[in-house]
Amino acid sequence: MTEPIPGGDGGDLASALRHAFDEAGNPSLAAVAHAAPGVSKQRLSDWRAGRHVPARFEDLEPVIAYLRIAASGLTTAEADDTASGTSDWTPERWREVWRQSVDLSADAHADANGAADVDAAEPVREVDRKPIAIAVVSVIVVLVAALAVMAYLLSWATM
């Protein structure tokens, strides 16, 4: 059984993020966004408020790392007795809370759309770009060859 979020409502990511921000001394969204490449202040705000859940855990990892470092930098006088707070969680615990929130978000989305077979927890797969690159290069080669043939024919016709 997983440990509940201190003072939280059971285990959702938004609550965990709010507690992690509190434990880190409530850094500004701009500071956290600056430390987490690809994460905007708006996305952070949406995640904290529970409006959205990150699609990939990898997007959340730099945010968690920043908050852990910020929380560890606080003196005990500044911290509010957070000895067993979210800043002490392992990455696996964070991933578990994220996955639960993704599942809840997918269930809510499925209920809203009437499509119960949506699996939002499935990780985003990488797109294989090699066939696209080969097709683009092939088209360029064909166009250059056609241009060369046309130039040869024009030079031959004007002689």
Q: How many domains does the chain have?
A: 2
123 located within any domain: no
Q: Which domain holds residue 95?
A: 13-113
Mean local confidence (pLDDT), 8-32: 84
pLDDT > 70? residue 115 = no
- Comparing 16-20, 80-84, 125-129, the range with the smallest average pLDDT is 80-84
Residue carrying structure tokens 């202040």:
41
Q: What is the pLDDT of residues 68-107, one digit of tens each?
A: 988 887 654 444 554 557 778 888 999 999 998 888 776 6
d(CA 157, CA 159): 6
Q: Are residues 23 and 99 in the same domain?
A: yes
85 Cβ partners below 8 Å, 6+ apart? 6, 19, 20, 23, 71
Claim to verify: residue 101 and residue 66 sit in the same structural domain: yes
Nearest alpha carbon to residue 21 among 50, 52, 44: 44
Residue 38 and residue 73 in one domain: yes
**pLDDT value for 109:** 56
Q: What share of the chain is helix, strand, coil (3-state, %, to 5)?
A: 60, 0, 40
Query: Are 57 and 94 part of one and the same domain?
Result: yes
Q: Is the model's pLDDT at 3 over the cut of 60?
A: no
